Amino acid sequence: MSASSPSPSGGPLVEGPRDPEHEPGATYALEPEYVASLTRRLVATSGEESPVFSPLDGAPLAHVPQSSDGDVAEAFARARRAQQAWSRTSLDQRAAMMLRLHDLVLDRQDEITDLIVLESGKARKHAFDETLHVAMTARYYARTAHRHLDTRRHPGVVPGLTRVDVNRVPKGVVGIISPWNYPFTMALCDGLPALVAGNAVVAKPDAQTMLSALLGAQLLEEAGFPAELWQVVAGPGSRVGTGIVERADYVCFTGSTATGRLVAHGCAERLIGCSLELGGKNPMLVLRDADLERAAEGAVRATFSNAGQLCVSVERLFVADQVYDRFVERFVARTEAMTLGATLGWDNDMGSLISQAQLDAVVHHVEEAVAKGARVLTGGRARPDLGPYMFEPTILEGVTPDMACFQDETFGPVVSLYRFHDEADAVARANEGEYGLNAAIYSQDGARARAIARHVKAGTVNINEAFGATFASIDAPMGGMRQSGVGRRQGAEGILRYTETQSVATQRLMPIAPVLGLSDERFAKVMTANLRLLKKLGRA
């Protein structure tokens, strides 16, 4: 594994040296006016500030004003006012703004990816994935708004006499609580269908990556959405996140299973709905008929994208006995050929972890496993020479249930290899544990792999791909089974969660009651005959 020589990205916002390798000890910085143009979007009058650090060099990138409890209340008051007017706009108007957002995100991709890399430390290609995901989500919900939201006619109780319309009514103000690992798309993409469905949003991004989320809010405004419709608050989850749960009409939470449980509890107290996109310990199966080059290439992306800080990342790799040695040889070789670096350029295959805390957690998982007998096939070391929180992509063998990395989410570039003899056994082992987010299966027999997928307890299963095939297919729902989540993002479920259904029935000519002097007893007989007839006619 080698360090890359970073290439300047050419984006407009960084002042000072762009290439710390050329000027040892130099740090990245943002123009104060640029930071101010982003933080003006915040409702934050507490007078307190919190630093955002860049994992590229560990130095402060900006200071972000913090929201008080009163600010969270004010954000909801503003959002509620804005939502009243917004709910009366047409779907076509909303869709047109979404399409403008699509274009803006593609036009401004250099600025967006610069900021994501500076704030998260990830490799540029993984930051670029975020711009793609936001653009695709915006276009999808713009193009499908009518399909999901138009009022639908349903059969009434008395055919011909009862007309039933089912409306999709916005919930009101949706609270979006998002994590740091995909700071641009996780802060934005769940909110886009909420806007299309006629809601306002109050967003609370993670404190470590506020700037990427604020750039998203700014782009929404530039795309034509009313500024007040998308409020952003800043502060610790335990206070500001709780403030969201106490006030929202619906909460969309993305983060750890432990916090998701707290959010669900708060929502249950208030009897409001929520969707929870949580953690995973995702398996990949390499069947005996897999194309091994393709599987090894996919395994690298499945395990080391964003340095493994990805909810759908693979941390357990089950490989058929017959191909185990040949697969491992290829997987290790490809991993060792990766270029590592904490820089802005395109050269890095893998970037940094987000923080010292994340690095400590990864080091703990690896050191504990090794102390208990696991073998490191490659990687296994922190690389402070490349960046303060860099850790090598790491492949372990011999991981056993007494080791933390056997079942606990590492959320880092660490994968455990296991052999299997028969596929039923592999599926049973893949299904162990409490999670059920994502899985990958490699086989040259698509039909057989799809049949196996039905037995895998995971909300998404990718065949001959790591995770992108499901994640980027926006029409397909995405989310977790078991402790990996409640509800789904994307597709119809991703937008209908932000609506209430309202059934409006119009009764024509006669009431649903005895008429023309019919007694109740006679009416009962007529209704009974009516029901038998409807069944004979095959009606629902």
Query: Which positions touch ligand NAD (CB under 6 A)?
Result: 177-181, 186, 204, 206, 237-238, 241-242, 245, 254-256, 259, 262-263, 277-280, 311, 409, 411, 437, 480, 485
235 touches 63 (CB < 8 A): no
Catalytic residue among 119, 277, 315, 409: 277
Residue 260: CB minimum distance to ligand NAD, A = 7
Residue 327: CB minimum distance to ligand NAD, A = 26
- What is the C-alpha end-to-end distance of the chain, expressed in Å? 63
- What whole-number distance in Å separates Cα of residue 440 and Cα of residue 152? 37
Give the list of residues 6+ apart from residue 384 with CB closer than 8 angstroms, or none: 390
Q: Which residues pair with 65 in a beta bridge?
A: 49
Nearest-5° Cα angle at 375, 374 to 380:
105
- Within 10 angstroms of residue 232's Cβ, the number of other Cβ atoms is 25
Residue 272: CB minimum distance to ligand NAD, A = 14
> In three state form, how does the secondary structure of 290-344 look?
CCHHHHHHHHHHHHHHHHHCCCCCEEEEEEEHHHHHHHHHHHHHHHHCCEECCCC
276 touches 485 (CB < 8 A): yes
293 torsion bin: left (phi>0), alpha (psi -120 to 50), beta (else): alpha
Give the list of residues 6+ apart from residue 371 with CB closer than 8 angstroms, or none: none
Helix (H, G, I), strand (E, B) or coil at 464: coil
Cβ proximity to ligand NAD: between 262 and 292 the closer is: 262
Give the list of residues 6+ apart from residue 262 with CB closer than 8 angstroms, or none: none
Residue 447: CB minimum distance to ligand NAD, A = 29
Residue 488: CB minimum distance to ligand NAD, A = 10
Positive/negative CA dihedral, 103, 106, 112, 116: positive
Residue 244: CB minimum distance to ligand NAD, A = 7
**Token output for 221:** 């405004």
Active site includes 119?
no
Among 176, 74, 183, residue whose Cα is nearest residue 133? 183
Helix (H, G, I), strand (E, B) or coil at 524: helix
Residue 245: CB minimum distance to ligand NAD, A = 6
Cβ proximity to ligand NAD: between 242 and 343 the closer is: 242
Cβ proximity to ligand NAD: between 9 and 257 the closer is: 257
Considering only the C-alpha atoms of the chain, give the largest distance between any 2 of them, rounded to a whole number of Å.
96
- What whole-number distance in Å separates Cα of residue 416 and Cα of residue 372? 14
Cβ proximity to ligand NAD: between 82 and 233 the closer is: 233
Cβ proximity to ligand NAD: between 29 and 415 the closer is: 415
Residue 168: CB minimum distance to ligand NAD, A = 24
Cβ proximity to ligand NAD: between 11 and 480 the closer is: 480
- What whole-number distance in Å separates Cα of residue 435 and Cα of residue 260? 13
**Token output for 59:** 């130095």
Q: Specify the DSSP class assigned to residue 63.
A: E
Cβ proximity to ligand NAD: between 238 and 356 the closer is: 238
Cβ proximity to ligand NAD: between 9 and 242 the closer is: 242
Residue 437: CB minimum distance to ligand NAD, A = 6
137 touches 192 (CB < 8 A): yes
- What whole-number distance in Å separates Cα of residue 216 and Cα of residue 40? 13
Half-sphere exposure of 235 (CA within 13 A, CB side): 23
Cβ proximity to ligand NAD: between 20 and 485 the closer is: 485
**Token output for 33:** 């006016």
Catalytic residues: 277
